[in-house]
Each structure stands twice: as structure tokens, then as C-alpha cells.
Structure 1
Amino acid sequence: MLISALVLALAGTGLGTWAADTWPWPKERYCWGAWEEDSGPGFLGDEAFGEDDDGARTSEETAPTRQRPTGSCELTIAGDYKSRHDGDEVSIRQQVSVTYGPVPKAAEDRLAMVQDGFLGGDMVPLPDGLPGTVNGGGGLLVLPKSCDTPDGRPTVVTMDASGTYASGPSYSQNDPADLGGAQQAAVLLVAAANRGMAAAGCEPDEPLRVSSPVYDLPGNPEDIYGASEDVCGIRGLSLGTEDITDQTGAVTRDLQTCSVRGDGVPYLQLAMVAQPRLVAVFDGIAGERPVARGWRGTGSLGEDHAIVRADCAGRPTTFLMGASTDPDHLAAFANAAAARLGCAPIAPEGAAR
């Protein structure tokens, strides 16, 4: 009688939904409270575990603070089960990692982090004028100037999905966590950034928002079997090699990217960046001299990266190259991008021959 009365009382107050197996247990929240369990993309729901009814979702995180404005969070999905299809032992391990903090001081470290990770041909600009890039596997967002370090370095939030799927004793493949596509990834990235800024005490008056669709989707990778000419659609960009794959990314006033792979590894990465806050990521590392005789602006050629900073159509613009060490590749790309933007060539005539 007492139990029946309790059920009726709960139902009368709207709390009896547990009887339909929908008891409102509090949802887990992740990444400084930015993401809620069972909301949005697959990695936050039960579908992340596939056939495994006993999979686990765990998180480790350190929130930024006013005194220490760096932070990280990592959400891990793990499961081991026997496949219902063939009986093989299956193991899944997936991660979604977010970092909050200033870009590195050292030029090579900064270029490796930003250019190698977030300026490839498969990235697109964030919508709504947000300074950064995104794809279905992660992204980078440059935070407002209020979050800069005392020495002027911008603070960025990055997100990256990774993972593996293994079946039986010998089969394994990359199987990144499902972020739900570039649009949903942008929403996740911005949500984490807002929480991080609030914790660090540098949030803007209004939170950042993603309200527009992601545009400028990159083209599909294209295989090139003959001598490579006009790679990524850039006139004069010839690599003089065969069996490569190029991918043309964003081509906008603020951003242009191109990636080339050979035998599955990076062969050439090129980027033009003119969005002011994204350009600020590369402040202070282009040096004070031209990259070579006759080049405009300042820059340097390193072992793994090259950078040139020059004025283009009235805006400071950065031209980047990774993987290749051939200045002719950078010259062809920079001059083509400059012509598209309506400004003077970056490299002297004949530099890309």
C-alpha cells in the first residue's frame, strides 16, 4: 500500500516517469561541462559502443583557471566484446581530445601545431566569421584578444578525434570517434571554448556561437599519376613527381589551403592565411628579413616549414609551407594566391621555375 501510494504521489508531481524506464537520472557532462551525455554526435551516445553493451565512457580533464590559463580534456570510449557476426574478439578505443592554451613560443613548434594539424586541404573555415578551421575530425579556434598572454601570444582551443578498431588477432584500422561531421564539430569546439574562457576569466560579453552552416567544403582528394603540373589547381605548381594525391581545401579571401600526399605520407602542405585573428597566431615568428633576394615581406625557410609574411590587398597575410623544403613550391603558391587577392607578387619573377 505504501509503495503504491508513493508511485501515485510521484506520478502526480511529474516525477513518476521512472515507471516507464525513463527515470531522469542526471546526465554526465564532459569537457568542463560543455558537452552532455546523449546529446548531439554519436560519441556522446550509446551508439559509440557498437555491439558492446558493456562499453565505458570515461573522461580526464583539467580546466583552465585565471592563474593558470591552460587546460585539457580527453573523453575516452572503450569496449571489448565478441562479434555477433563471426565470433572474433573486437576491441574499440576512441578518444576526443581538447586543449586550451596559448600557441607555443618556438616558431617550429607553433608551425607544427597549427599548420600541420589544422591548415590542411581537408579543413574548412569556421562559420560566422569565427577565426579558425574545422573538419569532421576536429578543429582549431583562436580566442578573442582578451585571452592573449602577457607577451601577446593568442590562446587557442583545439579538438581532435582519434581511435582504433581491432578485430581478431591481425586486423586493425583507424576508427576515430564520431563527431557528427564538420558542422557538429564546429558546435562542439565553440562550446568547449566558451566554457574554457569562462573558467579562465577572459570570456567576451556575449558567448561565441555557431549559427550558420559550414561552407567552402574541400574538394575530394585527386590522384595524379603523371608528371604533376598545376597541383591543387595552382598554375605553375609542379612537383615533378608521379603517384601523388592532392586536395584543394578552402579558397576564400581569408584562407586558402592545399595538401599533397605521396605513398600515404605528407608531401607538401601550403596555406595562405589573411583572417586577422588567425594571422595573429603567426605573429613574431616570420623574422625581420625577406625569405630570399627579391621576395616581398619577411620570412624564413626551416628544415620542415617555411613562412612568409607580407602585406596583400591592405592586410597582413601569411604564406606557409610544410613537408617540402623547395622554395619554388612556396613561390608558385604565394604568387598565385596573391594574384587571386589582387596584390603584388610575393616572390620575384622566375623564382618558381
Structure 2
Amino acid sequence: MDEASAEPGRPRRGLPHGRRGRLLLVSALVLVLAGTGLGTWATDTWPRPKDRYCWGAWEEDSGPGFLGDGLFGDDGGSRAGKETAPTRERPTGSCEVTVTGGYTSSDGDEVTIDQKVSVGYGPVPEAAEARLAMVQDGFLGGDVVPLPDGLPGTVNGRGGLLVLPESCDAQDGRPTVVTLRATGMYTSGPSYSRNRPAELGGARQAAVLLVAAANRGMAAAGCAPHEPLRVSSPLYDLPGTRERLFSASDDVCGIRGLRLDAEHAEDQIGAVTRDLQTCSVRGERADVPYLNLAMVAHPRLAAVFEGIAGERPVARGWRGTGSLGKEHAIVRADCAGRPVIFLMGASTRIGRLAVFANAVATRLGCAPVAPGGAGR
């Protein structure tokens, strides 16, 4: 119906000619842009949402090398994530970011790089040997430092471990931990390969990644504290470089009388505090672990080992309780008014643990833990 034939007395609903013309022109332009792909969104200049990983804790291009696109270079590459978030009913979870890339070297060899950053969330294992292997061999070596700000855990440039608050403990009392590990392999041609872990950005950045994942995991599991965990203070001074052992008579780990029957080995002294002391000895060439020693006195970190030290002394004359396994030993004793855990991995020669435990006890100002013994 046109304006001339409108019913008498009924207000006209048509727009003024000038305004109606402008609206028609705008509508036509929108249709043209959408149809021809000339809009900002269609030309791909609209900011693309950044990918997030590990239950939303980590964002693409947020700092660490494995989250940025710079590591792909001109040859391209790919990054993918998969995850299973913890829940209230099932308080275990995992997340994994994989990075793959490759190129042809100047010699014509095909080079491939496969890297992975993995996070685990859940209670520590029930079995004593499995629990010792998980913690002692992975997160209490000579190259780790304590997490800052009193957080119970350790970290280095390849990962870390954080013990969560008691509100997240399993029903049977086992502490829940969050672990972070960076691994990777560089392969060139058919016969050359070496370890090349994903780049976390150093020990401090690894601590930030670990704590961010822990906060997200606790929120998903329904046990998060009122205030989120934070990394704000500087890290403990990083451990020194490995020191070569020139003879079997050399003292290792900076402890007088602690000896190792190996000439082609290197030791590395880690943290030395009232809450933590670590040292590790590895083969100079094959990087095979010969000996791992640790003292843990931080109450929450020590709780990881609760219930697996047995009910009897590890040997005649020892204070406290302990057990000796296939590749690990543990002793729990009171020292300076609090329980202290002494650990040994990659060896079962109890004399070495005796020298270490007594040296640490002297430093902490408490009675000897072991009756003595040679460090061989």
C-alpha cells in the first residue's frame, strides 16, 4: 500500500525519505561486504582468539617458548593439547601440550623435533617404591630448588612438583600433588638423536606454570583455598654446575667421608636449607644416575612420604624408622623438634645414606641419625 492509499485518520508509519534512503544504503553496503568478503572479519584481520591449555591455565604466546610461534620458524610446525580435568567426584587429571616441527638441514638430513609438556594432578601413589621413585628420582635431584613463598615443592628448568593444601588430600590421607615435566627429542637423519626438552623459560617461569595449573586443577576439583597460590618472591639461588670426580677417594656432595666407587662421574649439590637438602651423582658420559640423596623437612612436603617409612629402624642402631627397597631407601627421624625425611635413590648401600644423614643432622643441630659407617 502506498502513502496515497493509506486509510484516513491512521498515522503513517513510513520513514522520512532522507532517513529511509540512508538506512537502505547502509543495509546494501553490509550485504555487499558480507557477500564479497571485504569486511574486517572476512579479511582475517580480526584478532584471533588465543588458544589456552591445561584447563585454561596457560595462554598461547604468554612467555614460555613452547607456547609461542617463534619456535616454528619458517619451516612451520604444530602445537596440540589434550587434557582431562579433575572433578569433585574424580580428583585426578592430566594435561599435555605437544610441539612438533622439522626441517631439512644443510647436509640434507631430515631433522625432527618432538617435544612435550605434561602436567599430572592427583594423590601420590599408594605403594612405597612407586611413591619414592616418582618424587625422589624426578623432583629431588641436585638441580632443583625449593619453590618460593613457602610453597611446598621443588622446581628446575624442566619441571617441578607442588604439594597441595590439606583440603585436597585423598580420602585415605594421601597428599595430592601437581607435577610438571618437559621432555623432548631432537632427531637428525637415521642415526642421531638427543634429548631436547621443551623450553619452559627457566626455573622461575616453570614455577609460574606449575602454580597456574595447580590453581585451575584445585578449582575444578572443588578444593581451592580462599586465595589462589602465587609465585611472587625470587627463587632460591640456583644450584652450581656439576663437578667432576677424579678418583674414588673424592668426597661427593660436599660431605666429608661420602665416597663413590666411580672415577667417571659428576656430582651436583642442590638446595641446602633447613627445609631441603639435595645432591645427585651421575655418570660423566652416559648421564646414568649413580646416587640421589635428599633431606626433606618442610612439613607439607614431608607429608608426601608419610606412612611408607615402616615401623622399625632401617638397620641396627639407627634412630627413627625406615625401609630399604630395590632402588630406594627412606628414613624418618625427629631432628631439631620436627620430623625429617632422609632419602636415597639409585643405590641401596646404606652406608652412604648414613654418612649423608649424620652430616645433615649435625648441620641442623640434632643427634646423629645413624650409628656411623663408611661412605662406600
Of the three residues 83, 92, 95, the one matched with 1:73 is: 95
Q: Which of 234, 241, 263 does residue 220 from structure 1 map onto?
A: 241
One-letter amino acid of the counterpart of residue 313, structure 1: A
Q: CA deviation at 1:22?
A: 5.3
Cα distance in 1 for partners of 2:367, 2:374 equals 14
Paired letter, 1:101? G
Q: Which of 336, 341, 344 is residue 313 of structure 1 equivalent to?
A: 336
What residue is the counterpart of 2:16 in the other structure? Answer: none
Q: Are residues 1:300 and 2:336 paired?
A: no
1:342 is matched with which residue? 365
Letter in 2 for 1:99: G
Aligned residue among 259, 262, 268 for 1:247: 268
> Contact 2:355 / 2:372 at 8 angstroms: preserved in 1?
no
Indicate whether 1:25 and 2:39 are aligned.
no
Write the distance in 2 (CA, Å) between the matches of 1:234 and 1:103. 31
Answer with 254-263 or 31-40: which moved more: 254-263
The 3 A distance-change label for structure 1 pair 162 and 3 is farther
Distance in 2 separating the partners of 1:167 and 1:4: 58
Corresponding residue number in structure 1 for 2:9: none
**2:298 is equivalent to residue 275 of structure 1:** yes
Task: Tell me the SS of whatever aligns to 1:164.
Answer: strand
Shift of 1:166: 1.5
Q: How far does the alpha carbon of each residue in 1:5-40 deviate from its partner, in whole angstroms, 9 at most, with x for none?
A: 77xx9xxxxx96998x75311110000000001111
Q: Is the 8 A contact 1:125 1:216 kept in 2?
A: no
Query: One-letter code of the match for 1:283?
Result: E
The one of 72, 85, 88 aligned to 1:63? 85
In 2, Cα distance between equivalents of 1:41 and 1:254: 29
1:244 & 1:76 partners in 2: Cα distance?
Answer: 33
Moved over 6 A (4+): 1-6, 15-19
On the 8 A contact 1:222/1:247 being kept in 2, the answer is: yes
Q: Tell me which structure has the larger Cα radius of gyration.
A: 2
Percent of matched pairs sharing the same residue? 75
Alignment root-mean-square deviation, CA: 2.1
Q: Please give the secondary structure, in 2, of the residue aligned with 1:226.
A: coil
User: Quick one: structure 1 residues 217 and 3, their matched pair in 2 at CA, closer, same or farther if it must change by over 3 Å?
Assistant: farther
CA contact (8 A) 1:142 1:154 kept: yes
TM-score, normalising length: structure 2 = 0.87
Residues 167/289 of structure 1: CA separation in 2 closer, same or farther (3 Å cut): same
Q: Which among 168, 176, 188 is matched to residue 147 of structure 1?
A: 168
Count of paired positions:
343
- Counterparts of 2:266 and 2:327 in 1: how far apart (Å)? 20
Give the equivalent residue in structure 2 for 1:123: 144
8 Å Cα contact 1:49/1:77 also seen in 2: no
User: What pairs with 1:256-275 in structure 2 (closer than 5 Å)?
Assistant: 256-262=277-283, 263-275=286-298
Which residue in the other structure is 2:59 paired with?
36
Which residue does the alignment assign to 1:89? 110
Within 1, Cα distance between the matches of 2:74 and 2:185?
15
Which residue in 2 is equivalent to 1:232? Answer: 253
Matched-pair contact (CA < 8 Å) for 2:122–2:178: yes
Structure 2: gaps spanning 5 or more residues? 1-24, 34-38
Which residue of structure 1 lines up, in the alignment, with residue 7 of structure 2? none
Does the CA-based 8 Å contact 2:351-2:373 persist in structure 1? no
8 Å CA contact 1:338–1:345 kept in 2: the answer is: yes
1:2, distance to aligned residue in structure 2 (A): 6.6
CA distance in 2, matches of 1:277, 1:289: 23
Contact 1:48–1:77 at 8 Å: present in 2 too? no
Following the alignment from structure 1 to structure 2, what is the Cα–Cα distance between the partners of residues 319 and 279?
Answer: 10
Deviation at residue 267 of structure 1 after TM alignment: 0.4
Q: Which of these residues, 142, 154, 157, is aligned with residue 136 of structure 1?
A: 157
- The TM-score normalised by the length of structure 1 is 0.92
Q: Which residue of 2 aligns with 1:286?
A: 309
Does structure 1 conserve the Cα–Cα contact (< 8 Å) formed by 2:260 and 2:375? no
Name the structure 1 match of 2:353.
Answer: 330
Counterpart residue identity of residue 335, structure 2 = C
How do 1:163-182 and structure 2 match up within 5 A? 163-182=184-203
Unaligned runs of 5+ in 1: 10-14
Go from structure 1 to structure 2 and tell me whether the alpha carbon gap of 1:3 and 1:244 turns closer, same or farther (over 3 Å shift): farther
| Residue type at the aligned position of 1:284 | G
Q: 1:228 to 1:2 in 2, by over 3 A?
A: farther
Tell whether 2:74 aligns with 1:47. Answer: no
